[in-house]
Each structure stands twice: as C-alpha cells, then as structure tokens.
Chain A
Amino acid sequence: MTIQFNNETFRDDYSFRNSDWAIKRFPFPFHEDSYMYSVNMEQHRGGPEGSVYEKRFDVDEHYLSEMQDRAIVLAEDPLRCQSLPHMTLAGWDTLELIMVSKSEDYPELFELHRDGNRWRWVNKPMKIDHTFTFLDETTLPCGPLEYITRQTQGDFAVLDQRDEMLWMDAGMVTTQADWSLDFDIGMNFFEWHAPVPLAHEMGIFKRALKFLLNVQQGAPARRLNWTMTVNPLLDTSPENYHKWGIQKTTLTPENIGAKQHLRVELQTFFRLPRSNALLFPIRCYLIAFQDIVTVPKWGRRLHRVVRDLPEELATYKGFIANRPVMLDYLSQYDDGLPTSPGVWPDLETEPPLAK
C-alpha cells in the first residue's frame, strides 16, 4: 500500500494522531492479562503482512514528522548523536544495513544503486538523492551513523562487543524513554541497566547479555518493551525532564483518554558484519488510551495489566502517581470477559464491550 505521511507534531500543540490503519497495526505488548519481565526474545524475520514486524525497519505514516522532530532535538542538543572513534566502521555497517534493507523492503520509497564503493541513495519521501563513496566519511555531510539515522525512525544504540561484554560506544537517541546517551556513552551492559528494579535480582540481565553476545549475522532478534507517556512526546529525555516531567501532573478524568499514551518500543538486534558490533534499534510507537480502547480486547487487558502491575514497576515506569486516574478511566472498558491469548486485536472474534 502507499503510505500517506502525516504532517504532525510531537511537541507544543501535539497534533500527532494515529489513523485507523496505525491503530490496528499498533504493537500491543501484552500477550496475556498480566505483565512481568522476561527475556522475551524471538527471531526478527518478518511477521504478518502489514504488521510492524513485517519489515526489517518499519516505515509508517509518522516517518516524515518523526524525522523533523529528530532534527529539532539535534539542533538544540548535538550530543544526542555520538560515536566514539573506534565505532566509525560500525556506523558504516549501520548505514549499509539500513540502505540495503529499506531499498529492498520499500522499493517505491527508497533506492540504492551501488557501483563498487560508489553509492547513490535515493530517499523519495525526504527528497534526498545523494551519491557518495562507501567507507569515505569525507563524502557525507556528517558521520555515517548520523547520516542514516536522521532518515530512519527509532533510536539506535550501537554496542561494541569486547571481552564477553557489550559497550554503549555509539548511538542516535532522540525518542527515548528517559535515558541519556550522553550519560551512558562508554558504559557496559550492566552499568547502563543499573537503574532497572527487580530485573537484576531475577538474573534477567545475565541471561539477556548471554543471548545478545550470541546474536549472529543473518539471524536478527527482537522484543518489545513499554512504558507510559503523557502527551505524544517522542523526546522524553532526562535532559529535558524539566519540560515534560511536569506534564504528568496535567492529567484529569476529562483529558486522560486523549493525553495518556501507551509507549511501546520495538527493540531489534542485528549483528553488524564488518565491525562485529551489535546494532540495537529502539523504535517508539505511541497510542492514546482513547484509541487503544477502540479495540475491545486491548481495553480489557490494559486495565488488568495496569491494575496488577507491581508497585516498583509502576514507579520505575513513572506512572505510579497517575495510576488511580488511569484505572478509573480504563475500568470503564473492562467488562470482566475473558480475553484471547496473544497480542493481536482479534476484532472479528472478540466480543464487543458488554457494559
């Protein structure tokens, strides 16, 4: 299908909206009526047609607006994109992976023409037509990682692998759930996960690290993570907490359906071939509560998950104070009927709301 790109904002007047198409393909993260951490990895090799899992790098109706928002963030804070000196090759790896994937997966939007190291990249939605020399930084307007991730939705952490450990040595991070690349740069896997509650005691990170060190070329993996965001903000960074944190106090029973968003990250993991680094794209999808509850199964389930979530997790995810008002709203959409297993909306088979 042809994607109609929205003209919308993720700040100030918050004109961000999901179309019916975007609501139905939203990556709802709860496969059952409760939630606890797990290393919920699966292979990233496609998925049902039209779903966000189908392509290696999903492009949707928010593409152009998300790229404009990224440009605004970078203009105000260039340290959102960093690459330690030894990570340049991994940046080229990232550029190659994305250009090859997008041109193969979306031939009507992106083209890549290669003649040896002479490459021509055409990005039709962004009106870019650029010829450069692969592996020669002087032929790009900025580093290869910055160049391609200014044209690709989602944040990108590029992890060097050394001494049986992963190191946060490069990245492009402008749509993050309250973490900072500038703070984490150069840290190892356990260091940058130190603030997460409960999971360390559960041995989650040891198992996750072991899995990630073994992600091999040609066999990418994926998982989902989630949190809550008031107003459709992409940039919920610690650097700008003074701007967005206060907005969490503006929720009322009247505005919660429009203002409160479920924020889901589709995290994928690719072994980069030339550098042996690990690319960790973190793609953020936002959906307003009033849109989630148009899918009866999701309305029922979200109420149960939010209600039963352990207090530590609700605190860490930053919505403990708003949980009562969220539950008041969501309980209207939970009639107590059972829900079908799995993440899909099941609109044809699940009963409509019975209250």
Chain B
Amino acid sequence: MSAAPQKAKAGAEKIAVTVSAVVPLNDLVTRFEFKRTDGAEFPPFSAGAHTVVEMQDGDRTRLNPYSLMSDPADRSIYAISVRRDDQGRGGSLFMHQKVKVGDAMTLTYPVNLFSLDLRAKKHVFFAGGIGITPFKAMIAQLEQSNGNWELHYACRTPALGTYADELTNAYPNKVHVYYDDQNQVIPLEDLLDGQPLGTHVYVCGPTGMIDWVHATAAAHGWPSENVHSEEFLAPQPGKPFEVRLCQSDITIQVGEHESLLEAMERCGVDAPFLCRGGACGQCETDVVEAEGDFVHRDHWLDDEDHASGKKIMPCVSRFVGKTLVLDR
C-alpha cells in the first residue's frame, strides 16, 4: 500500500521517565519507581508485561528487561524490582549503585510474553525469589476483577522474602510462603492434584524451578497449554568471536562480556529485538555459513532448529569456531 511508509525501528516504542523513588527492600532487592518526564499518564498494561530499561553506563548502553510489578490500574507510575547480581554483567549493579531519584531514564512500552489466560477458572502462581515480580501485578489485576488465585512463593530466608510479608498481610488465605532455611518446600504434587477443571498454573523463578513445575505438571496429566512460565536469560560471557554480517556488509568482533546482539548494535546495525532474554523470538537470525559450534541458550528455537545450525538468537546465544556468517 505505502500510504506513508516508515521503517519500523528495532525494539518497542520508548517512554522518557524520571526516577521517582528508590526503595531498598532487603539486602539484595531494590524497587525503582518511575514517573513520565512529560507529566502524562503511563499507558495501561496487562499484568505479566515487562519493560526494557535503557541504562546509560558511561559509553555503554545497557538494555535489560524487567517485569512491571506495579498495579496495572495505577497509571501514575511504573515500578520494577531489581535483584542485585554481583556476578552478573553489570546491569543490576548499575541500577543498585548508580541510579538515584531524579535521574532521567528511558523505558520501552510494555510487552507481554507472560499474560494471564483470562479463560482460567482459577490461577495458581509459583514464584521463586525475584520471580515474584510479575505476580505482584497479576494479583493486583485479579483482585480488581474478583479473580480466583493463590500464590506459592519460595524464598531463601525471611530476611530475603521480597514482598512476602506485605502479600501475606494483605491476602492471608491466598498467599503461602516457603523458606529454604527452614526446610520448607512447595508441596507441588499435592497442589497440582485436585485443582478445579480450568485451572492455569504460572511459574516464574530459577530455571530448575520452572523445569520442575513443567515436568511435574506434565507427569500429572496437565495439558501444556495450562502451564505458563517466563524466564529471561541474561547473556553469558564467553570467548570473543568474529561474525560476518552479509546484509550490512561488515565483519564485527563480539567481546567476552557482550552479547552478539549488543555487538551488532555497537557497530550500528539496527537488529530487531524485544525481550533481549531469549524468549520472544524477535531477533531470530538466519545463518548463512558456519564452521564451528553454536552455544544456543534461548527458549525460542526448538531442538531441531538448534541442531540444524541454520538459526541463532543473538540476544543470548554465542558461537565458538572459525567462521560465522549471518543474514543481517
């Protein structure tokens, strides 16, 4: 048609924000609240959505996805809760150490890869650690629509139980907290047994917990469409490698501590992306030629795609070998 053709930019639309509150919650987790710099209201969002936070760390632009955990009905703020990862790539440390009230930052519009199934007769949430964040928004949304839900939340210790007391006090009959240091374990098999027909379960937490819930639910005969999970992977460091981008007609070096996607962006290539955590599929890239081994880490491609050597997700996956040529 071409009424007014405009090339879509990579990533979701952006919103200029000002940090309005920095609230340490415990030794590891801090909440950051944002207001729109233009004073307007934020767009409404659906619980389970994330935003990508743009951090200007010296010369380096960091883009990290975080679940929106504020009440979706409150359009005056967006809030995220960030767990400090001392061994990580530095995004969470930047948030904890550098970001102050009054700072100007950029968020993307909400993108939801972990939405509630609104057909569900009941929603059962399993959270591990910082995986509590999307459920904060889901609980707020369901409370406003009289939804039927319960939460099972595993934390290391009471001191590190982010929002555990707040949630328990607000919903004593719906929230169940399990502390590792007291040897408490989510009784998953019992909980999956006897749920009413039409129940959906949602899990957010460490990889092991997500796999455990999926495997146990499958073994108990749950349809896979009734079991939802979200896990954002952080790109892992690895040996530097060289990539030829044939559309852009350049050869780039991927450093030890940056992802392939970040290296492309550093070299001025406008590569598509949304979640930057191996989940959304937006950055999927065709491999033209490869001599070496892929280190696939995404949740998007299936085993067959991974084995084929024809596709790579540059946000989290790497390459070890002599030659890699991508159609980008």
Bound-complex Cα distance A163 to B200 (A): 13
A89-B145, A162-B225 known; A273-B45 Cβ under 8 A: yes
What is the CA–CA distance of A273 and B109 in the complex, to the nearest angstrom? Answer: 10
Q: Are B4 and A48 in contact (CB under 8 A)?
A: yes
Q: Is the CB of A89 within 8 A of B44?
A: no
Contact A273 B110 (CB under 8 A): yes
A59 to chain B, nearest CB (A): 17
**Using an 8 Å CB-CB cutoff, how does the interface string of A34-64 with B read, 1 for contact, 0 for none?**
0000001011011110010100000000000
Residues 103 to 131 of chain B near chain A (Cβ within 8 Å): 109-112, 115, 117-119
- In the complex, A218 Cα to B5 Cα: how many Å? 17
| With contact pairs A217-B110, A219-B12 given, residues A273 and B1 touching in the complex (Cβ less than 8 Å) | no
Q: What string of 1s and 0s marks CB contacts (under 8 Å) between A11-49 and chain B?
A: 000000000000000010101000000001011011110
Q: Are B13 and A43 in contact (CB under 8 A)?
A: no
A270-281, CB under 8 A of B: which get 1 and which 0?
Answer: 000111100000
Q: Which residue of A lies closest to B6 (CB)?
A: A43
A40 touches B43 (CB 8 A): no
Number of A residues, CB within 8 Å of B:
38
* Contact assessment for A86 and B118 in the assembled complex, using a CB-CB cutoff below 8 Å: yes
- The CA-CA distance from A160 to B6 in the complex, in Å, is 27
A347 at the interface (CB under 8 A from B): no
Chain B residue numbers with a CB within 8 Å of A101 are none
| A47 interface neighbour in B3, B44, B49, B117, Cβ under 8 Å | B3
Q: Chain A's nearest CB lies how many Å from the CB of B199?
A: 14
Asked if A161 is at the interface (CB within 8 A of a chain B CB), the reply is yes
Roughly how many angstroms separate A343 CA and B5 CA in the complex, as a whole number? 12
Identify A51's interface contact among B3, B6, B46, B274, CB under 8 A: B3
| Nearest CB in chain A to that of B225: its residue | A163
CA distance in complex: A85, B6 (Å):
37
Task: Indicate if A216 sits at the interface (CB-CB under 8 A).
Answer: yes
Whether the Cβ atoms of B119 and A86 lie closer than 8 Å is yes
> Whose C-beta in chain A lies nearest to the C-beta of B43?
A273
A42 in contact with B109 given A216-B274, A217-B45, A218-B43 (CB within 8 Å): no
Of all chain B residues, the one with the shortest Cβ separation from A51 is B3
Are B4 and A53 neighbours in the complex by a CB distance under 8 Å? Answer: yes
Of the residues A218, A274, A342, contact of B46 by C-beta under 8 Å: A274
> What residues of A have a CB within 8 angstroms of the CB of B145 in the complex?
89
Q: Which of A53, A216, A274 contacts B72 (CB 8 A)?
A: A274
Which B residues between 2 and 55 are near A, CB-CB below 8 angstroms? 2-6, 8, 12-13, 43-46, 48-49
Give Cα A47–Cα B3 distance, bound, in whole angstroms. Answer: 6
A45–B5 alpha-carbon span in the complex (Å): 10
B229 within 8 A of A: no
Within 8 A of A (CB), among B139-171: 144-145
The residue that B6 contacts in the complex, of A42, A216, A276, A342, with Cβ under 8 A, is A42
Query: Is A248 positioned at the interface, with any CB of B under 8 Å from its CB?
Result: no
Which residues from B are CB-within-8-Å of A29? Answer: 1
Q: Which residues of A contact B119 (CB under 8 A)?
A: 85-86
Which of chain A's residues 65-100 have a Cβ closer than 8 Å to chain B?
85-87, 89, 93, 96
For residue B46, which residue of chain A has the nearest CB?
A276
Select from chain B the residue with minimum beta-carbon distance to A169: B119
Whether the pair A31, B4 counts as a contact (CB closer than 8 A) is: no
Q: Does A214 interact with chain B (Cβ within 8 Å)?
A: yes
Give the residues in chain B near A45, CB-CB below 8 Å. 4, 6
Measured CB to CB, the nearest residue on chain B to A273 is B44
Indicate whether A224 reaches chain B with its CB closer than 8 angstroms. yes
B6 surroundings in chain A (CB, below 8 A): 42-43, 45
Contact status of A46 and B118, CB under 8 A, knowing A274-B46, A275-B46? no
Is A150 an interface residue, CB under 8 A from the partner?
A: no
User: Cβ of A342: which chain B residues have Cβ within 8 Å of it?
Assistant: 2
Measured CA separation A45–B7 after assembly (Å): 11
Query: Across the interface, do A276 and B2 meet the contact criterion of CB distance under 8 Å?
Result: no
Q: For residue B144, which residues in chain A have a CB less than 8 angstroms away from its CB?
A: 135
Residues of A within 8 A of B92 (CB): none
- List chain B residues, Cβ under 8 A from A43: 6, 8
Q: Which residues of B contact A214 (CB under 8 A)?
A: 274, 280-282
CA distance A342 to B5 in the complex (A): 11
Bound Cα distance from A161 to B4, whole angstroms: 28
Is B2's CB under 8 angstroms from A218's CB? no
Task: Mark A151-188 against chain B: 1 for CB-CB distance below 8 A, else 0.
Answer: 00000000011110000000000000000000000000
Q: Is the CB of A276 within 8 A of B112?
A: yes
- Closest A-chain residue to B11, C-beta based? A216
Q: Which residues of B contact A48 (CB under 8 A)?
A: 3-4
The 8 A CB mask of B261-274 against A (1 = contact, 0 = none) is: 00000000000001
How many Å from the CB of B17 to the closest CB on chain A?
14
CA gap between A47 and B115 in the complex, in Å: 32
- A223 interface contact, C-beta 8 A: yes
Give a binary string over A222-236; 1 marks a CB under 8 Å from any B CB, 0 the rest: 111000000000000
* In the complex, chain A residues 196-233 whose Cβ is within 8 Å of any chain B Cβ: 210, 214, 216-219, 222-224
Contact B115 A224 (CB under 8 A): no
| Minimum CB–CB distance for B270 against chain A, Å | 15
**Residue of chain B at shortest CB distance from A45:** B6
- Report chain A residues within 8 Å CB of B1: 27, 29, 31, 40, 42, 222-224, 343
- Neighbour of A216 across the interface among B4, B109, B281, CB < 8 A: B109
Residues of A within 8 A of B (CB): 27, 29, 31, 40, 42-43, 45-48, 51, 53, 85-87, 89, 93, 96, 135, 160-163, 210, 214, 216-219, 222-224, 273-276, 342-343
A-B contact pairs, 20 of them (CB 8 A): A27-B3, A31-B2, A42-B4, A42-B6, A47-B3, A53-B3, A161-B115, A162-B115, A162-B117, A216-B111, A216-B274, A217-B43, A217-B111, A222-B1, A273-B43, A274-B46, A276-B46, A276-B49, A343-B1, A343-B3
Known pairs A42-B6, A217-B45, A273-B43; list 6 more (Cβ under 8 Å).
Answer: A43-B6, A45-B6, A47-B3, A85-B119, A135-B144, A161-B115
